[in-house]
Structure 1
């Protein structure tokens, strides 16, 4: 009896243990399904340098590939990257992870097409083909199941004869997008800044009507399979959009979406209407839903996100306040100026928390012309969507690419995010264009518990990071220290003649205030300081004929500081002049003709 009881007790215990293990297994499976981390590789140390919302991790897939542009991920996880300026003239790279550790084990260059390597951008997989672009061509090549590198010949689909374009060849990057009806969408950027009579020249007015609009600053629709098409074979789908690099067809909404790179240099071309702070933040980078027949308004208008309205460009009668009488396409979201949106992706996976479903990820490549304020952009942004429209403010999803606190010059940034693609398991892949680093971003937290707490740190980065936040007009001016030092030098070497207020003496010495010599060609200004000036001149309508002695004994740094001070003050409102500029002009004067 005792033995039997013990046996029964043992069996009962085993049943309980098995039941417990079974329950634990079910709970474990349930947790894995909830947090989506099953089969995901370990993260890289410090997430490969990235800052991400809570629960997200990143692994570095590959590094030092070169100047990587857009990328695509196949259904088996193979990655394809379009390169710029490829060293071996083969413009694409294929990567494969053979042991599922998240890192590419095989890296292979390929390409049987002519590639100048200049602005090659697109890399997309569509209908079993790998589509990609060079500066002037759209190609595709058939992917072979199981093979990493395409075996077939590249087929030319669209040819842009930009070399013979009478308007020029700026903004010729060619992203591509596809609808479900056999159409391919290709933008043709504007060769000029704002279709000026004299492009990028201070005070130049714009051409009206703009002759570029017939073949530029818009999106054209082509067949996604017909070979040897030219722009004449396409149909202009939308117009008035200056330069597009980030573009995607949203399959759920059955619509094209794109972001525009805005015009440059408000303060340089129209300093009477804009100060350096406004020029750094305007115009907005506009996020459009592009429908057939849309007109974004370039070159006649721009969007001011601080005033929440379209305004006339100064080349067309604007003054920073005037609104156009004609209605143009309005942005869904307006980002601060010069963030440089270079890729767009609508998330369709299931790995990430539900709030990311159908939302838009944007790669901001980063500005080059925000001086004297920190350069902006250099992060991956996110815009939540609901019912086909933004449902909240834009967010910072991934940061840490610059590797420095303040980006004074573009070259200071370690990495510049460029491309976005999704893997078969819902992971996102990011490429960057400086060194060719690829990250895979995964979610490993509990999706049911994802909320505001996981976003707090990223919101703080949006509000505090110099390359993302709205700069303070005084405190964040990176020339503040230079201007102060330049003021002391100006008082020592210049104020005796030109006066402390920069107005001159009205008789012998010309004013520096609002002076065409200060606002004109920097090379001429530096040459005057180095070599002096003699003979009659006219400044602000008044004649002067006093000798200014050469000041070549001043160092490059001293001249830089003085001229930075002068250009920032006395109603000139201009960017500074660097010691490097002074050194180049000293070595090769080649003075510009005097007025």
Structure 2
């Protein structure tokens, strides 16, 4: 097989052969042909590209019995068009009809679920669950849109409030309500700040709620809390084989940034685990008091509650996961595969097992980013085994992945077609693949899986070596020490952000505009929604007023003079002036008056 250097244009066009580059060492991986849409798959599987890109890109998806595809857009602005409907009219496997509809433009239309259930098309944003009644033959439903569930809480920031959904065999609806915090700090993401105990967020967040079947106009009070202690669930599905709910919890972030005296950069890159749970009624996953250390196989106290990376404390009472995946892989969809029949679908190895879409990390610096693949957990005794496999890889198109913006594709949504095929959607371009099995189903086994087992040695899948994989080894930390610790996890080492939650610094009007305003952002913090370079973001920027005037001046000078930016520097005196002004504004008015009278 030929090898050559990676050319982004060749990959995007899918006209020529695609290569993958090992950036730091110059090692060139085996080239991959454009067949299979550039993906690595187990022997006997084939992938076809249904669509190369979509307006609004793509997150989750569902396929109807007639093969029509419905996609929840990643972005939808100005119009009620957050659902994308696709149809193949000539049987060539590619969508040739694309229509948009649905959702509410007045709310942030960030897609978090798409399912077809009992004749209805369900989809969700961060604040709503919607549905349409489907009529056979119609691509775009003519029925009115119904609002099934409204998140009526007051959200200061839209963080961890995705609304993935699933249904049990009685039709009851399950919806998580995530918690916008690492570990229930009084002020989020402040170094050294302890967590509130008991955590008040657990009253109506940090868990999964069950709602009655086939109802509309619901709010959280109409449901019952089914499980708690789950910070952020994005992947959720019901397993009909054991009639149980399964969920993927995103582990907390920022161990290095918040607790640099207790955790090394390597520990912060690989810990804590992303957790796969079999969720029973009344289960408690332990958040915010505990996290799961997959290397030790233990639930440990979070540092916000006195933990030091070793002590268990109260955490022995909480539910352990079936599997603890390495940190920050971002498992964002879960699909129990039901497509095995006597004559169709995937080999028996996949029956009742679970596919997982790992969207990929943003905050593993100074180590390579990880994830960006489809995993598979085989079934065992009607449940799931404790082992997992790589099913599809090659989405990122580069190795190692230094910045999240380097990844060409990031897998996100999973669904099964009526013929037992697996559909995969990704978020960066809105590309969709259809994966089918063309080999001998009876002969499929360890030999066919061996090549995928070797993929676990890719830097986006294995745990990094603490020394050899440190991208800053032997060189200054990218962006300066302060930027590397406090900024790169969100805005990335190249200042490009992650195109989704965290805005770019490169070319940003916020960075290159008024310096006093920029200084104020770091001193006060910032909550969305905001617009940067024409794109909307809605997250939280914590206050960095714990840094000295000199440190803030250094990091602000760095971002204004790097990443292609050509602004002038910021001085400690300028920071001091803004800090003094903010302190004065925050003091009680009578204190300011009294002081003026004493002068």
User: Normalising to structure 1: TM-score of the pair?
Assistant: 0.76
Q: Which residue in the other structure is 2:125 paired with?
A: 134
1:432, distance to aligned residue in structure 2 (A): 0.3
Q: Which residue in the other structure is 2:486 paired with?
A: none
Q: Does 1:200 align with 2:189?
A: yes
Q: Does 1:452 align with 2:436?
A: no
Match 1:116 to one of 107, 121, 128:
107
Asked if structure 2 preserves the Cα contact closer than 8 Å seen for 1:385 and 1:392, the reply is: no
Match 1:591 to one of 575, 579, 584:
575
1:521, distance to aligned residue in structure 2 (A): 3.3
Match 1:398 to one of 387, 392, 402:
392
Match 1:342 to one of 332, 336, 343:
332
Listed one character per residue, the Cα deviations across residues 335-367 of structure 1 (whole Å, up to 9, x for unaligned) are: 000000000001111211111111110000111
Aligned counterparts of 1:185 and 1:360: Cα–Cα separation in 2: 18
Aligned counterparts of 1:529 and 1:225: Cα–Cα separation in 2: 53
Listed one character per residue, the Cα deviations across residues 359-414 of structure 1 (whole Å, up to 9, x for unaligned) are: 11000011111111011111000011111333352111000110111111111111
Asked if structure 2 preserves the Cα contact closer than 8 Å seen for 1:527 and 1:585, the reply is: no
Asked if structure 2 preserves the Cα contact closer than 8 Å seen for 1:365 and 1:377, the reply is: yes
Aligned counterparts of 1:578 and 1:392: Cα–Cα separation in 2: 48
Q: Which residue in the other structure is 2:407 paired with?
A: 413
Matches within 5 A, 1:289-438: 289-325=278-314, 326-350=316-340, 351-391=345-385, 393-438=387-432
Asked if structure 1 preserves the Cα contact closer than 8 Å seen for 2:561 and 2:569, the reply is: no
Q: Which residue in the other structure is 1:525 paired with?
A: 551
Match 2:462 to one of 465, 469, 484:
469
Aligned counterparts of 1:148 and 1:486: Cα–Cα separation in 2: 49
Asked if structure 2 preserves the Cα contact closer than 8 Å seen for 1:119 and 1:172, the reply is: no
Listed one character per residue, the Cα deviations across residues 510-540 of structure 1 (whole Å, up to 9, x for unaligned) are: xxxxxxxx9963884252599xxxxxxxxxx
Aligned counterparts of 2:388 and 2:77: Cα–Cα separation in 1: 37
Q: Does 1:214 align with 2:198?
A: no
Asked if structure 1 preserves the Cα contact closer than 8 Å seen for 2:124 and 2:164, the reply is: yes
* Matched pairs, number: 477
Q: Which residue in the other structure is 1:572 paired with?
A: none
Aligned counterparts of 2:463 and 2:49: Cα–Cα separation in 1: 30
Q: Does 1:245 align with 2:234?
A: yes
Listed one character per residue, the Cα deviations across residues 421-465 of structure 1 (whole Å, up to 9, x for unaligned) are: 0000100000001110000001101112111221122111112x1
Asked if structure 1 preserves the Cα contact closer than 8 Å seen for 2:323 and 2:386, the reply is: no
**3-state SS, counterpart of residue 276 of structure 2:** strand
1:230, distance to aligned residue in structure 2 (A): 0.9
Aligned counterparts of 1:297 and 1:591: Cα–Cα separation in 2: 41
Aligned counterparts of 1:585 and 1:231: Cα–Cα separation in 2: 50
Listed one character per residue, the Cα deviations across residues 248-275 of structure 1 (whole Å, up to 9, x for unaligned) are: 0111211110000110011111112110
**3-state SS, counterpart of residue 448 of structure 1:** helix
1:116, distance to aligned residue in structure 2 (A): 3.3
Listed one character per residue, the Cα deviations across residues 561-584 of structure 1 (whole Å, up to 9, x for unaligned) are: xxxxxxxxxxxxxxxx99449966
Q: Which residue in the other structure is 2:65 paired with?
A: 75
Asked if structure 2 preserves the Cα contact closer than 8 Å seen for 1:91 and 1:115, the reply is: no
Asked if structure 2 preserves the Cα contact closer than 8 Å seen for 1:60 and 1:437, the reply is: yes
Asked if structure 2 preserves the Cα contact closer than 8 Å seen for 1:83 and 1:121, the reply is: no
Q: Which residue in the other structure is 2:20 paired with?
A: none
1:588, distance to aligned residue in structure 2 (A): 8.9
User: Normalising to structure 2: TM-score of the pair?
Assistant: 0.75
Asked if structure 2 preserves the Cα contact closer than 8 Å seen for 1:82 and 1:93, the reply is: yes
Listed one character per residue, the Cα deviations across residues 171-193 of structure 1 (whole Å, up to 9, x for unaligned) are: 11100010122310000000111
Asked if structure 2 preserves the Cα contact closer than 8 Å seen for 1:71 and 1:124, the reply is: yes
**Of 352-361 and 80-89, the range deviating more from structure 2:** 80-89
- Structure 2 unpaired stretches of 5+: 1-31, 481-543, 584-599
Change (3 A) 1:177 1:44: farther
Aligned counterparts of 2:99 and 2:571: Cα–Cα separation in 1: 44
Aligned counterparts of 1:471 and 1:276: Cα–Cα separation in 2: 11
Aligned counterparts of 2:555 and 2:277: Cα–Cα separation in 1: 48
Q: Does 1:483 align with 2:476?
A: yes
1:115, distance to aligned residue in structure 2 (A): 5.7
Change (3 A) 1:375 1:522: farther
Asked if structure 2 preserves the Cα contact closer than 8 Å seen for 1:44 and 1:60, the reply is: no
Match 2:159 to one of 147, 154, 170:
170
Q: Which has the larger radius of gyration?
A: 1
